[in-house]
Amino acid sequence: MNLKRQTLIVISLLLALATQAQKLTVESMTLADNDISASKYERKDLNRNPCALVKVQLAAYGAQFEGNVIDDVDYKTGEYWVYMTEGSRELRIKHPNYLPLHISFSNYGIDGGVKAKQTYDLVVSKPTALCASVSRTASTATASMPTAMPRSRERWRSVLDARI
């Protein structure tokens, strides 16, 4: 009975860690003072006002962006160029492999929203390899568990040894 409980606790912990592995996290968001990309490659909103440029550094192709985003988002090798209307205060990132990420710019010192013709760097990280290996371990552990519980402790150990 004790070994069964321990095994279930370990599997539960691995599954909890695997769930955490699906979250993107914001590392930083800063104003790129020396980057003139927003002026050089200017886009205008529907009112013909210049936009701000948020360069989202995310090494995952296929992300989508929601908020005051103007036109299509450009993907340039590990970096998305997201043009936003002046005064935008938040951005939402969606990706098929991760949970949606909501970013409020005021949490990173950008009060009053983004400014026109300014470039901002937003660094978003994916889960680490350790979390991914835990996820694979958890899915392997659940898939390899026997469907019926052995009655004796020796039989249980032999089943586990055979699976490992």
Is residue 65 assigned to a domain? Answer: yes
Is residue 13 assigned to a domain? Answer: no
Q: What tens digit of pLDDT does each residue of 38-67 get?
A: 999 999 999 999 999 999 999 999 999 999
φ/ψ of residue 62, rounded to 5 = 105, 10
Specify the amino acid at residue 8: L
Is residue 37 assigned to a domain? Answer: yes
pLDDT at 145: 43
């402790």: which residue's tokens?
153
Is residue 111 assigned to a domain? Answer: yes
Is residue 18 assigned to a domain? Answer: no
Q: How many CB atoms lie within 10 A of CB 131?
A: 17
pLDDT at 154: 60
Overall domain count for the chain: 1
Residue 93 has what DSSP assignment?
E
Is residue 55 assigned to a domain? Answer: yes
Is residue 140 assigned to a domain? Answer: no
User: Which residues lie closer than 8 Å to 164 by C-beta, 6 or more apart?
Assistant: none
User: Which residue range(s) make up the domain with 119?
Assistant: 23-126
In sign, the C-alpha dihedral spanning 111, 121, 47, 74 is negative
Is residue 34 assigned to a domain? Answer: yes
The segments of the chain whose pLDDT lies below 50 read 131-150, 156
pLDDT at 131: 45
Helix/strand/coil for 2: helix
Query: Residue 132: in which H helix or E strand, if any?
Result: helix 129-144
Q: Extract the tokens encoding 11.
A: 């599997």
pLDDT at 133: 43
